[in-house]
Chains A and B, each alone.
Chain A
Amino acid sequence: MDNIITIDKYDFHDVALEYKEQGYDFLRCLTGMDWGEDGLGAVYHLENTLTQENVVLKTKTTELSDPILLSVCDIWKGAEFYEREIFDYFGIRFLGHPDMRRLFLREDWVGHPLRKDYDFSLNPLRMTNEVTADMTQNIEVLKDGSVIKKREVLFDEDEYVINIGPQHPATHGVLRFRVSLEGETIKKLDVHCGYIHRGIEKMCESLTYPQTLALSDRLDYLAAHHNRHALCMCIEKAMGIEVSERVQYIRTIMDELQRIDSHLLFYSCACMDLGALTAFFYGFRDREKILDIFEATTGGRLIQNYYTIGGLQADIAPDFVQKVKEFITYMRPTLKEYHDVFTGNVIMQGRTKGVGVLSKEDAVSFGATGGTGRASGWACDVRKRHPYAVYDIVQFDEILYTEGDCFSRYMVRMKEIEQSLNIIEQLIDNIPDGEIQVKMKPIIKVPEGSYYAAVEGSRGEFGVYLESRGDKFPYRLKFRSSGLPLVAAMDTLCRDAKIADLIAIGATVDYVVPDIDR
């Protein structure tokens, strides 16, 4: 159970700044909360990137009709999108936030869905085209203490604004960018999310714990095991369940296979976006081999539903070990082929080297974890920072680059495939015997409190924040998306790049849209 420090809403900005100066420069997670009678608020998970210490802050307001909190987006850049998300979900407005628009829902949406008193009937399906305003509204404090509403212009009348998405081959789903161009150069980029916002967090509040597991797989379908691992870990942590060694080993191996699968898909899609179609097919060809292994054990190709609270759905398939070994011996030379056909290509290097540079400070400030953060030189691997499962007993390197450009983001992932193979190799022969499922009560109830657990997903830290009131339903379940900080950084990455660079950046940052929108 996390130790939460409650801070008065008027002091919050100063306290947050103090923490930042003490070295808490990574805003891991920012969760909006509706405590019913107790008011609305937000929970901040901070981490010191040098010492890996964590602190959890909380602030709230009892004003329900027009709740206002202080913004921290000048302290942590990543807070900008999180605060917009909270505004969208709970209607809390943040003072000093430059761009207080809804993040996921339509501009004309009525009400705020994650409030406990939200009425579903307010928003029937609207088939009218959404009008995207070129203006945004924010609130600002004047020197004399009074608060004014200000309108700000996002795009001028005479700017050449093009829409990239929501249906666009290079956005990997239904993300939408509004891009202001000058010739081919990008002057400004505005991210519109929410085209696949499925309201998973709200749905989880009315599902029992085992039922919530089913939805986590569908968040980031290329990290289905990771997502579920995080959720299971969080619930197990809350209930104090120790899973057996065997389960830990199998989970680790499955996680790493999933990571390879995801990185292969990353490779394929990056190649396709950069125009090398043949390499796309190579990646997909080899990905099928992993899916076969998954299918034999879990019965699913993408959505596996394999981990359960306290164990696994089923034991591994009889030929699992042998198949995995075959795959490892197959994959190593194939990686070389990948490098031959794509990495070494002079055009590919010209397209990606020095393009879309994200500095280490920015990466930390945005909270851009995963391959993107590591390419900028930030050692942000959860497997190293807060080892879980059996990651503390295996040997593997955390791949770090310092350039922070598209090429290093690409290389981090390609090298991580090798590391994942190493991890699997160390574990595959030593899977201990044991129970695959801890005996659980028929109705799972989590003791009261709030808990946070994180795993290293395919594209960054995937966290689960759970607040329980001792019920069989979670009171609030928040998924720390690994993709949202990445798209938050898109504007910074794409300034003064070309349209073609936007595609290369989008491909190498490697976001998965349902994971952003949840």
Chain B
Amino acid sequence: MFDFGIITSWIHEFLTSYLPLGLATFLECVLVGVCIILLYVVIAVIMIYMERKVCAAFQCRLGPNRVGPWGTIQLICDMIKMLTKEIISVRKSDKFLYNLAPFIVILASVMAFSCLPFGRGMSVLDFNVGVFFLMASSSIGVVGILLAGWGSNNKYSLIGAMRSGAQMISYELSASLSLLTIIVLTDTMQFSEIVMRQQDGWFIFKGHIPAVIAFVVYLIAGNAEVNRGPFDLPEAESELTAGYHTEYSGMHFGLFYVAEFVNLFIIAGVATTIFLGGWMPLHVSGLDGFNHIMDLIPGFIWFFGKAFFVVWLLMWMKWTFPRLRIDQILTLEWRYLIPISLVNLLVMVIVVVFKLHF
């Protein structure tokens, strides 16, 4: 399996041989920053295009098909339009918070995004409390949403923001608990290590029953955390027109829009890394020939393939289910998901202690 680390270390050596260490590190940081933001945009475009096509397929429609082959560059049009659209500043709003909010949301999203290991050696932030860092940085997003709701001086926005505050903070719990379940199994929080330990089988297979439960809980909680249907209450189109971003126009709205989709990808990416082996190919012990063929497929293809499969699952969920009500959302979390995850964590501990896993 190809190690992307070879390239990065080669670049590092190349730079340090010509430049002092400090400057080289700085250059590398800039390079990595540019790369990650580019990747972020590309993922956003792919996600939005995918969303449109998938929902069109579910709804017996065609979806965009006029701009470019199969409508593939429709998103470029949308981006140009967003960039050249007027940004309205609302009178009587809190100007500073109003303008700050979308950037907090996008910042949180980019930070969480850079934690994902896309392939062997292909990760930006990889340190020993990676999972912890990811959970922490992704939950900054809720601050942005609350600020957006508060700053725009709109009653709908405020209700939307309050809903999302309640919802995102609650669901953070069961999402973390289900990740913790797997961490009990791996005894590491570093993403690269977690992936490496899945060489002989993905955790969803290795951890069998508790892992499957954790996976399902994580998908539900993750979906709720990124405010996607059936948990899209904060923006509930038929109730609150557009929820917390009602007053945002132009690229400010664009940032929210993009962040929503990339957050969805992050949830799928984390689920892939933790449960489905990340960039690790599918290995069946005993079938060496099969394993060898699987190894030929590059790691990042495995990663994106799995992640987009999970994304597809989540989209299927979104386009099928009706929206929940706020009290039902909180009931689901506090009455069902948290007890289930807690018990599940305990079961996992028992499984690990008595070595019942594969």
Q: Is any CB of A less than 8 Å from a CB of B in the complex?
A: yes
A interface vs B, CB < 8 Å? 160, 162, 168-170, 181, 184, 271-278, 280-282, 285, 341-342, 345, 347-348, 350-351, 498-501, 503
11 contacts between A and B (CB under 8 A): A162-B155, A184-B163, A184-B326, A274-B322, A274-B323, A280-B59, A348-B322, A351-B322, A500-B233, A500-B239, A500-B325
Report if A275-B322 is in contact (Cβ < 8 Å); known contacts: A170-B238, A281-B60, A282-B60. yes
In the bound complex, how far is the Cα of B233 from the Cα of A274, in angstroms? 11
Q: Cβ of B241: which chain A residues have Cβ within 8 Å of it?
A: 168-169
Contact between A275 and B229, CB atoms less than 8 A apart: yes
Across the interface, B326 reaches (CB within 8 A) one of A162, A271, A498, namely A498
Contact between B322 and A169, CB atoms less than 8 A apart: no
Q: How far, in Å, is B356 (CB) from chain A's closest CB?
A: 33
In the bound complex, how far is the Cα of B156 from the Cα of A345, in angstroms? 28
Across the interface, B239 reaches (CB within 8 A) one of A170, A181, A277, namely A170
Q: Cβ of A168: which chain B residues have Cβ within 8 Å of it?
A: 241
User: Is B355 in the interface zone, CB < 8 Å from A?
Assistant: no
Q: A277-B59, A278-B319 are in contact. List 17 more A-B contacts (CB 8 A).
A: A170-B238, A184-B327, A273-B238, A275-B322, A276-B321, A276-B322, A277-B55, A345-B321, A347-B324, A350-B325, A350-B328, A351-B325, A351-B328, A499-B159, A500-B239, A503-B238, A503-B239
Across the interface, A272 reaches (CB within 8 A) one of B238, B240, B321, namely B238
In the bound complex, how far is the Cα of B58 from the Cα of A168, in angstroms? 26
Task: Tell me which of B229, B241, B323 has the highest count of chain A C-beta atoms within 10 A of its own C-beta.
Answer: B323
Contact between A271 and B319, CB atoms less than 8 A apart: no
User: Is B61 in the interface zone, CB < 8 Å from A?
Assistant: yes
Q: Cβ of A282: which chain B residues have Cβ within 8 Å of it?
A: 59-60
User: Is B267 in the interface zone, CB < 8 Å from A?
Assistant: no
Closest 4 CB pairs of A and B: A275-B323, A281-B59, A274-B322, A276-B322
Q: Cβ of B321: which chain A residues have Cβ within 8 Å of it?
A: 275-276, 345, 347
Q: How far, in Å, is B179 (CB) from chain A's closest CB?
A: 25
User: Is B219 in the interface zone, CB < 8 Å from A?
Assistant: no
In the bound complex, how far is the Cα of B236 from the Cα of A316, in angstroms? 44
Q: Which of B244-299 contact A (CB under 8 A)?
A: none
Across the interface, A275 reaches (CB within 8 A) one of B155, B232, B328, namely B232
User: Is B237 in the interface zone, CB < 8 Å from A?
Assistant: yes
User: Is B230 in the interface zone, CB < 8 Å from A?
Assistant: yes
The closest CB in chain A to the CB of B323 belongs to A275
User: Is B25 in the interface zone, CB < 8 Å from A?
Assistant: no
Interface of chain A: mostly helix, strand, loop or mixed: helix
Across the interface, B230 reaches (CB within 8 A) one of A162, A184, A285, A347, namely A347
User: Is B16 in the interface zone, CB < 8 Å from A?
Assistant: no
Contact between A499 and B239, CB atoms less than 8 A apart: yes
Interface residues on B, range: 20 to 34
Contact between A278 and B320, CB atoms less than 8 A apart: yes
Contact between B322 and A271, CB atoms less than 8 A apart: yes
Q: Which of B141-164 contact A (CB under 8 A)?
A: 155-156, 159, 163
In the bound complex, how far is the Cα of B18 from the Cα of A28, in angstroms? 92
Q: Cβ of B230: which chain A residues have Cβ within 8 Å of it?
A: 275, 347
Q: How far, in Å, is B317 (CB) from chain A's closest CB?
A: 11
In the bound complex, how far is the Cα of B233 from the Cα of A498, in angstroms? 13
Report if A345-B325 is in contact (Cβ < 8 Å); known contacts: A160-B155, A162-B156. no
Contact between A342 and B322, CB atoms less than 8 A apart: yes
Q: Which of B314-344 contact A (CB under 8 A)?
A: 319-328
Q: How far, in Å, is B285 (CB) from chain A's closest CB?
A: 39
Q: Cβ of B159: which chain A residues have Cβ within 8 Å of it?
A: 162, 181, 184, 499
Q: Cβ of B59: which chain A residues have Cβ within 8 Å of it?
A: 277-278, 280-282
Task: Tell me which of B156, B232, B240 has the highest count of chain A C-beta atoms within 10 A of its own C-beta.
Answer: B240
Task: Tell me which of B60, B236, B239 has the highest count of chain A C-beta atoms within 10 A of its own C-beta.
Answer: B239
Q: How far, in Å, is B44 (CB) from chain A's closest CB?
A: 21
The closest CB in chain B to the CB of A500 belongs to B325
Q: Cβ of A342: which chain B residues have Cβ within 8 Å of it?
A: 322
Contact between B326 and A500, CB atoms less than 8 A apart: yes
Q: Cβ of B328: which chain A residues have Cβ within 8 Å of it?
A: 347, 350-351
Report if A277-B327 is in contact (Cβ < 8 Å); known contacts: A160-B155, A162-B156, A503-B239. no
Task: Tell me which of B58, B229, B320 has the highest count of chain A C-beta atoms within 10 A of its own C-beta.
Answer: B320
Q: Cβ of B239: which chain A residues have Cβ within 8 Å of it?
A: 170, 499-500, 503
Contact between A169 and B319, CB atoms less than 8 A apart: no
In the bound complex, how far is the Cα of B229 from the Cα of A271, in angstroms? 13
In the bound complex, how far is the Cα of B326 from the Cα of A325, in angstroms? 44
In the bound complex, how far is the Cα of B229 from the Cα of A398, in angstroms? 36
In the bound complex, how far is the Cα of B324 from the Cα of A498, in angstroms? 12
Report if A275-B238 is in contact (Cβ < 8 Å); known contacts: A162-B155, A281-B59, A347-B230. yes
In the bound complex, how far is the Cα of B239 from the Cα of A348, in angstroms? 16
Contact between B320 and A276, CB atoms less than 8 A apart: yes
Report if A275-B236 is in contact (Cβ < 8 Å); known contacts: A162-B155, A500-B326. yes
Across the interface, A347 reaches (CB within 8 A) one of B55, B61, B233, B322, namely B322
Contact between A169 and B237, CB atoms less than 8 A apart: yes
Contact between B238 and A169, CB atoms less than 8 A apart: yes
Q: Cβ of B55: which chain A residues have Cβ within 8 Å of it?
A: 277-278
Q: Cβ of A169: which chain B residues have Cβ within 8 Å of it?
A: 237-238, 241
Q: Cβ of B229: which chain A residues have Cβ within 8 Å of it?
A: 275
Q: How far, in Å, is A424 (CB) from chain B's closest CB?
A: 25
